[in-house]
Amino acid sequence: MIQIKNAKPEDSEVLFKLIKGLAMHHHQLQNLKTNPDMLAKALDDNNNKFEVLLAYYQNEIAGYLSYYNNYSIWLGKNYLYVDDVFILEKFRSKKIGKALMNRIKEIGKHLEIDSIRWEVEVDNTRAIKFYTNLGADLYNKGIFKWNISK
């Protein structure tokens, strides 16, 4: 049985373990700078920087989806931006990812938002197939990152 709940500051330790799992999965652990305290602060209702859905499978943490509400000046309206979707390996192929994506779709409809955006690694064919099967369209667009703290 799949259960999905909204993460709260007290979930920061379990969320950090999941984020670390995603970083390891993508061989990006060296780029992980956050920690449980930073996550707890960011999840605090007063900050509302982002939201996280935690997925449980048979009462065991299985994955997460993080997102935030954004605005498109071209479209003149808000959209939801999914930052991460990650399912622990032992829980894959159990429809947990689909449950998370359906929940974010419900949230978007509740907020009267008509689109959700996210990024995917170009070589992640399994994820691309998954998202395409949901009915999402893939747009090829380059992404730049400018580190201005150096």
In the DSSP assignment, the letter for residue 98 is H
Beta bridge partner(s), residue 36: none
Question: What is the set of domains in the chain, with CATH numbers?
Answer: 2-134 (3.40.630.30)
* Positions of E strands within the chain: 2-6, 51-57, 60-72, 77-87, 116-118
Confidence class of residue 47 from pLDDT cuts 50, 70 and 90?
low
Indicate the average pLDDT of the chain.
94
- C-alpha dist (Å) from residue 83 to 60, 70, 77, 104: 23, 11, 19, 12
Distances, alpha carbon 13 to alpha carbons 5, 9, 82, 127, in Å: 15, 9, 21, 26
Does the pLDDT at position 150 exceed 80? no
What is the pLDDT averaged over residues 69-76? 94
- Report pLDDT for 46: 67
Question: Residue 27 above 90 pLDDT?
Answer: yes
The count of residues in the chain is 150
Confidence at 142, pLDDT banded by 50, 70, 90: confident
pLDDT one-digit tens code per residue, 83-141 = 999 999 999 999 999 999 999 999 999 999 999 999 998 888 999 999 999 999 998 88
Question: Which residues face 86 on adjacent strands?
Answer: 64
Radius of gyration for the chain, computed over Cα atoms and rounded to the nearest angstrom: 16
